[in-house]
Amino acid sequence: MQEQYLKINVNFSWHLIWVFALLEGVTVPLVPLFFENGPSVNSTADTATVAAQFVSFAINMIIIGMYGMSIGFIGTLIVCLLSNYIAFRKIRVCLNNAVIMRVAHPFIIGLWGGLLLAIIFWIYQCIPSLLVLPLIVNLMISGFVSAGGSIIVTGVIYLLMIKGLPHLGIQLITAKQQLLLAKIPIVPFAILIGLYEGLAMPILHIWELAPQHKVLIALLVGFSGGALSSLIVVALAHIRVINKRMWLKFLACPASGRGLYYSFSSMS
């Protein structure tokens, strides 16, 4: 029997501003903590041979991937837990008048967040060597391409993964049923998230220029960069020509009843 999807037209809530501010406020300070106290990432230009450069590049990418996976996992997990125990108890978020109670399996969602950030770090690491542009322009392009590219790669992996292992997908628990995120329009979301990261990157970069107190400054620029960039993107997402292309499709989990079409009532 053909699967029936719950199609949700996404209306970007203004609450996303504090969500992204919190996410950046948690993850950005972890970057100087990890990079300054963990294994160092060395320049491949200093190595003598092509083989040595390749080995050095591979080691750097492994280290960067580990950092991205760890930071993304921690940040996403914290946001999920805060949403479950604070946000969803204070803010009404509904799917066809069925209140979202919590996100299921925060650790699994944390792993997806870790993979997303690891791929962002990998792409970002490769881009600067290809661009000879002013710093701000370089940062904005790098942010857009790395975040947008990561959404595409992670989105494809996610959609393929849940076909065989649906329990590893992102799930929401409402007052009526449990829903699995089954389909997303990858390219429109990649463009919006890329735009968000492109706007945020010049602000987030400020901590790297600080001579001291890098973690504290990273905390401040993380909150401010996440809030300002998400404000602009959420405002753009309310434009009709953009908004009509933003949707999500869920599948009702087996124990939660039959699939029906639902409309989305966003946070007000």
Residue 181 dihedral angles phi and psi, to the nearest 5°: -65, 115
pTM of the model: 0.86
Other C-beta atoms closer than 10 Å to the C-beta of 82 total: 15
Q: Quick one: pLDDT at residue 43?
A: 57
Q: Is residue 45 part of a domain?
A: yes
Reply yes or no on whether the pLDDT at 133 is more than 90: no
CA of 164: how far to CAs of 14, 161, 182, 202, 259, in Å? Answer: 35, 6, 12, 40, 19
The predicted pLDDT at position 4 comes to 77
Residue 128 has pLDDT above 80, yes or no: no
Residue 185, pLDDT above cutoff 50? yes
Q: How confident is the model at residue 44 (pLDDT cuts 50, 70, 90)?
A: low
34-43, 53-62, 206-215 — most confident range: 206-215
Q: Compute φ and ψ for 189, nearest 5 degrees.
A: -70, -35
Report the 10 Å Cβ neighbour count for 8.
Answer: 21
167: which residues sit within 8 A by CB, 6+ positions away? Answer: 105
More confident residue, 129 or 210: 210
Distance CA 61, CA 71 (A): 15
- Please check whether residue 179 lies inside any domain of the structure: yes
61: in domain: yes
Tens-digit pLDDT profile for residues 216-245: 999 999 999 999 999 999 999 999 888 888
Burial of 2 (0-12, 13-18, 19+ CB in 10 A): exposed
Q: What is the mean pLDDT of the chain?
A: 86
The most confident of 30-34, 92-96, 219-223, by mean pLDDT: 219-223
Which whole number is the average pLDDT over 73-93? 90
Contact between 116 and 70 under an 8 Å Cβ cutoff? The reply is no
For the ranges 28-37, 48-57, 64-73, which has the lowest average pLDDT? 48-57
- Cβ burial 106-140 (10 Å sphere, 16+ → b, else e): bebbbbbbbbbbbbbbbbbbebeeeeeeeeeebbb
Per-residue pLDDT at 261: 34
Mean pLDDT across the stretch 78-96?
Answer: 85
Tracing tokens 């060597």 back to the chain, one arrives at: 129
Mean pLDDT of 154-180: 93
Q: How far is CA 146 from the centre of its chain?
A: 11
Task: Identify whether 1 is part of a domain.
Answer: no
Higher pLDDT pick, 52 / 172: 172
* CA distance linking residue 241 with residue 236, whole number of Å: 10
- The residue count for the chain: 268
Q: 26 pLDDT band (50/70/90 cuts)?
A: very high
Of 9-18, 88-97, 148-157, 228-237, the range with the lowest mean pLDDT is: 88-97
Domain holding 182, by residue range, is 6-265
213 pLDDT more than 70: yes
Is 126 inside a domain boundary? yes
| Total domains in the fold of the chain | 1
Please, which pLDDT band fits residue 39 given cuts at 50, 70 and 90? low
Tokens 């590219």 locate to: 149
Residues 58-67 have a mean pLDDT of: 90
